[in-house]
Structure 1
């Protein structure tokens, strides 16, 4: 069960060094480097092209059709933080728009990931305030029911604890537990170096059949060629 009506003001964020080490990598690379874990469901999409972010999570638990806790969360944001908002039940109302983004930007917020709706997309793009949302909806919300801030949440299928590192780009959103951030950054760097070598070999005309040693396993599995 979710903890309701509470704001945890003290959280342990991943270190700035670890966040900076993860920031250059893409979501796909980090997901693979972490053992193919941590992805949020692909229903979360950037609301404008080119949006991306990386930072420690300030988590928000919303009630359906109610954005009260986003205003509460603004006070807890430190520069570089990413807001991660989940809802107690499925809801696609427009919880977030240009005015809240202006408030969050003033606090140094790096962006928002929300398993719900947002609006004012043109204004968000003009501000270059990254938002990854479940939907775009002009439908407004109220401020009437308590949720929580900085509690563990499940956002689009992924568990997120306050202070975890959240990366988002055109491929989706991935969550790296704060305690694994340095390890995953190292694994991502090694994976990217290996991919660069493969890229050169592919560009030279080598086939994946040979680079990955697939021919014998395919033969053993029964693949036949006919002319």
Structure 2
């Protein structure tokens, strides 16, 4: 028989590092990290205009069975984000407003699930943000063992317990906590550079000049002409 675990303790990143990455957002943090850690596009935001960042509490479930999500609630702390996966593909509605209520009582910021959620209207009314593969009313059982706080794969990306998870309208990013401070500093530099570029673009500077792209266009054989040749 395979072993299954509920690991009680994970190493979490410093709150100021998590806050800095939240302020940066998914796209900037992903670029600052060297384009690593991004979940695929199938797991997407089910609300608009929400950004969260926190430490990952990971859950590996049997498809169609949310037993281990219930087991995971006990080990969550304020500021955590629950990341749920299944051992084979699933779109069943494994999470709804009752579990959200339980997680909120523990201070959990939101859910990332590579499966389905339901009660979505109530979740939106509650202001409990979720990123999911599907919205599906199909219910689940509570019968099969799994694990909490083990490495999992969510939409093609490895997520480890304690990883810094950033989620917004652009998607979901998972970064090793040990790289958090480094990436946050790089993200801050990118934000400053982007602010300067935004000012230049707003003043009318063209992107091809701002990024010095004219030599590249010429090298690639792109010609400027007033009209197509007859």
Give me the TM-score of the superposition, normalised by structure 2.
0.95
8 A Cα contact 2:90 2:116, kept in partner: yes
Counterpart for residue 84 of structure 1: 83
Shift of 1:46: 1.4
| C-alpha distance after superposition, 1:15-41 (max 9, x if no partner) | 222112212111100011111111100
Structure 1 CA distance for aligned equivalents of residues 18 and 3 of structure 2: 29
1:51 aligns with 2:50: yes
Question: How far has the Cα of 1:4 moved from its partner?
Answer: 4.5
Deviation string 1:129-173 (CA, Å, 9 cap, x unpaired) is 010000000000000111100001111111111011001000000
Q: Distance in 2 between matches of 1:34 and 1:196?
A: 19
Change (3 A) 1:226 1:4: farther
State the distance in 2 between where 1:176 and 1:89 align: 24
In structure 1, what is the Cα distance between the partners aligned to 2:81 and 2:190?
Answer: 25
Given that residues 25 and 51 in structure 2 are in contact (C-alpha distance below 8 angstroms), is that contact kept between their aligned partners in structure 1? no
What is the aligned length? Answer: 225
* Cα distance per residue 1:53-97 (max 9 Å; x no partner): 110000000110000000000001000100001110100000000
Following superposition of structure 1 onto structure 2, how do residues 150-161 of structure 1 map, counting pairs within 5 Å? 150-161=149-160
Partners of 2:97 and 2:3 in 1: how far apart?
27
TM-superposed deviation, 1:226: 1.8
Tell me how far apart the structure 1 counterparts of residues 157 and 122 of structure 2 sit (CA, whole Å). 28
The answer to whether the 8 A contact 1:51-1:128 is kept is no
Q: Distance in 1 between matches of 2:18 and 2:9?
A: 19
Residue matched to 1:141? 140
Residue 123 of structure 1 corresponds to which residue in structure 2? 122
After TM superposition, list the pairs within 5 Å mapping 1:20-35 onto structure 2: 20-35=19-34
Which residue pairs with 1:211 in the alignment? 210
- Alpha-carbon RMSD across the aligned residues, in angstroms, is 1.0
* Structure 1: gaps (5+ residues): none
Separation in 2 of the partners of 1:165 and 1:158?
A: 13
Aligned residue number for residue 103 of structure 1: 102
